[in-house]
Amino acid sequence: GEDVEQSLFLSVREGDSSVINCTYTDSSSTYLYWYKQEPGAGLQLLTYIFSNMDMKQDQRLTVLLNKKDKHLSLRIADTQTGDSAIYFCAEGLGLTGGGNKLTFGTGTQLKVEL
């Protein structure tokens, strides 16, 4: 089966950049995603990248994809206390009939300190 791994914990100071890393194993993934989960809540899609792209920037978020190494990263610029949450990467495999089956990483707890 697929294994998607992330470091468990990251602590940064407010205003600094955060970089969350993810490694995946299935090279046939079509999309790769970053989700945010706040305590006791569902998942919020932050951004995604198509597998034939190397980089995607969306306001404070930058996603880098190294397909050769199966490595995905999420950079959050000017990290704020409201960014404190668990961040999950996920790889998507296409389903017959449409849609993607998502396999989630282990999650990274981001703590932003003043």
Partner 1 sequence: GAVVSQHPSWVICKSGTSVKIECRSLDFQATTMFWYRQFPKQSLMLMATSNEGSKATYEQGVEKDKFLINHASLTLSTLTVTSAHPEDSSFYICSARAPGLSYEQYFGPGTRLTVT
Residues that bind partner 1 (CB under 8 A): 1, 30-31, 35, 40-45, 48, 50, 88, 92, 94-95, 97-107
| Residue 35 contacts residue 90 (beta carbons within 8 Å) | yes
Q: How far is the CB of 42 from partner 1 (least distance, A)?
A: 4
CA dihedral 45, 31, 99, 60 (to 10 degrees): 20
Q: How far is the CB of 15 from partner 1 (least distance, A)?
A: 28
Q: How far is the CB of 112 from partner 1 (least distance, A)?
A: 19
Q: Name which of 72 and 88 has its Cβ closer to partner 1.
A: 88
Q: Name which of 15 and 94 has its Cβ closer to partner 1.
A: 94
Q: Name which of 14 and 31 has its Cβ closer to partner 1.
A: 31
Q: Put the strands of the sheet holding 5-6 in their side by side order.
A: 5-6, 18-23, 71-76, 61-66, 55-58
Question: Residues 6 or more apart from 30 whose CB is under 8 A from it?
Answer: 50, 51, 92, 93, 94, 100
Q: How far is the CB of 106 from partner 1 (least distance, A)?
A: 5
